[in-house]
Amino acid sequence: MSRRKSGAKNSSGKRKALLDDHLVLNSYMLNLFGMKNFKELKEILKQTEEGFDEEGRSYMFHALYSLKKLEPRLKPMLEDYDSNIREYMEHINQSRETPIKLKYFQYLSVLFGEI
């Protein structure tokens, strides 16, 4: 599948709009974490361990909380969001023989829903 280049122009000579130009909510979320694109965030979280520590905080939480450019007003809320995610996981895993752990993209999906 070919991708359009950001400088591509349509028949009237105007720059073609890219999907990335219209993902306002995505841009807002990435900005909260001090990221310019999803790939940056992905690389950080992809190497983060799945699951929760002995204090009940997810390893994803620790990785996000330690980001240098994390929006300061998000820090206190991030703890609450992570607690909610842990509770969701406990509820889901109650009736499972083999508990599930969230991959980084699944964790982000739930976290973005919380935000």
Instruction: Return the domain boundaries, the chain.
Output: 19-114
Residue 51, phi-psi category: left (phi > 0), alpha (psi -120 to 50), beta (remainder): left
Please say whether the beta carbons of 60 and 107 come within 8 A: yes
pLDDT confidence of residue 15: 67
Amino acid 78 reads L
- State both tokens at 78: 């991030």
- State both tokens at 113: 């829903």
pLDDT confidence of residue 80: 96
pTM (predicted TM-score)? 0.76
- State both tokens at 68: 């240098």
Neighbours of 79 (CB within 10 A): 12
Per-residue pLDDT of the chain (115 residues; tens, 9 = 90+): 545 455 556 666 676 766 666 678 888 889 999 998 889 999 999 999 999 999 999 999 999 999 999 999 999 999 999 999 999 999 999 999 999 999 999 999 999 999 8
